[in-house]
Structure 1
Amino acid sequence: MSTEQTSAPADGYSYTLTRTLAAPAARIWQAWTTPDQYARWTHAAPGSVELDVRPGGAWKATMIAPDGAEFPLTGTYVEVDEPTHLVIGMDIPGRPDPTLMTMELTEQGPRDTVLVLRQTCETKAERDGAEEGSGMLLDGLEGFLADGGKG
């Protein structure tokens, strides 16, 4: 798998992360949309992941930081086009509208897939934190796929 990662501010407080993974798009999609697999590579608290992967469907997970702190996250799926396009709404306390993250998968031959994550945030600090967190998620996904999903 390629560990290439690019970060490019698009407009305002946006970021784009790109990775090339040695897996077909369907395998990456499965890792991202199956609760038990998602929990393993995101290091979510056991039993905390629920994914209703359809437009309007809800999701939730409690992430565990390296220091052991727990962060409950919730949201909805805005767009679902299996296995190449996912727009995820993330609930932010105190905000009426969710923050959207877009995942695009493009196959490059029989085994390589380019994964692109995009998100626009309201502040530079929010963007920087979201970009760092997304980078860590992609690290976890890459490791999960490299070890055959045992992660």
Structure 2
Amino acid sequence: MAIQDKPRAIADISAGTILATVTIAVPPERVFRAITAEDQIPLWWGADNMYRTTKHTADVRPGGAWRSEGKGADGQDFHVAGEYLEVEPPHRLVMTWKAPWDGDNLTTVTYTLEAVENGTRLTLRHDGF
């Protein structure tokens, strides 16, 4: 997938929110698959100098569970997991996010996909920090 513009992200510490947008030169259906399919997530989620996702499992339906596992740049294993709250292919995906290093904090990630002339505008909103 080709990125059409430079990804933009804003962190609002006082609101506990991260907001990021990017336009990708493929249709929303393909982007939705990239953010939900077990075989696709390890292809893009992470960077070797920080962490790399090596396994992703997903029951992509409201109430279904997801889990990602990988290794940090220091070689330490990690995992994050959650539950799908809303699944509206190919336009919207909402899921909880639980990371063991973040105590009991449960956050929410919302992906919004919008068809645009040159592909898909993907907006990610991560709330609850």
The corresponding residue for 1:41 is 44
The corresponding residue for 2:88 is 81
AA of the residue aligned to 1:120:
D
State whether structure 2 residue 13 is matched by structure 1 residue 4. Answer: no
| C-alpha distance in 2 between matches for 1:82 and 1:11 | 32
Q: 1:118 to 1:74 in 2, by over 3 A?
A: same
State whether structure 2 residue 35 is matched by structure 1 residue 32. Answer: yes
Mapped contact 1:80–1:87 kept (Cα < 8 A): yes
AA of the residue aligned to 1:9:
D
| C-alpha distance in 2 between matches for 1:40 and 1:99 | 24
The corresponding residue for 1:146 is none
Mapped contact 1:7–1:18 kept (Cα < 8 A): no
Mapped contact 2:9–2:18 kept (Cα < 8 A): no
The corresponding residue for 2:57 is 50
Aligned length: 118
AA of the residue aligned to 1:77:
Y
AA of the residue aligned to 1:25:
P
What's the secondary structure of 1:35's corresponding residue? coil
Q: Compare the two structures and name the one with the higher helix fraction.
A: 1
The corresponding residue for 1:22 is 25
Taking only aligned residues, the RMSD between alpha carbons, in angstroms, comes to 2.0
What's the secondary structure of 1:53's corresponding residue? coil
Specify every segment of 5 or more residues in structure 2 that has no aligned partner in the other structure, as ranges. Answer: 46-51
Mapped contact 2:65–2:82 kept (Cα < 8 A): yes
The equivalent position to 1:120 in structure 2, one of 116, 119, 127, is 127
TM value normalised by structure 2: 0.80
Task: Report the alpha carbon displacement of residue 10 of structure 1 after superposing the two structures with TM.
Answer: 8.6
What's the secondary structure of 1:36's corresponding residue? coil
| C-alpha distance in 2 between matches for 1:36 and 1:57 | 17
State whether structure 2 residue 108 is matched by structure 1 residue 105. Answer: no
| C-alpha distance in 2 between matches for 1:10 and 1:27 | 32
AA of the residue aligned to 1:12:
A
State whether structure 2 residue 80 is matched by structure 1 residue 63. Answer: no
AA of the residue aligned to 1:98:
L
State percent identity of aligned pairs: 32
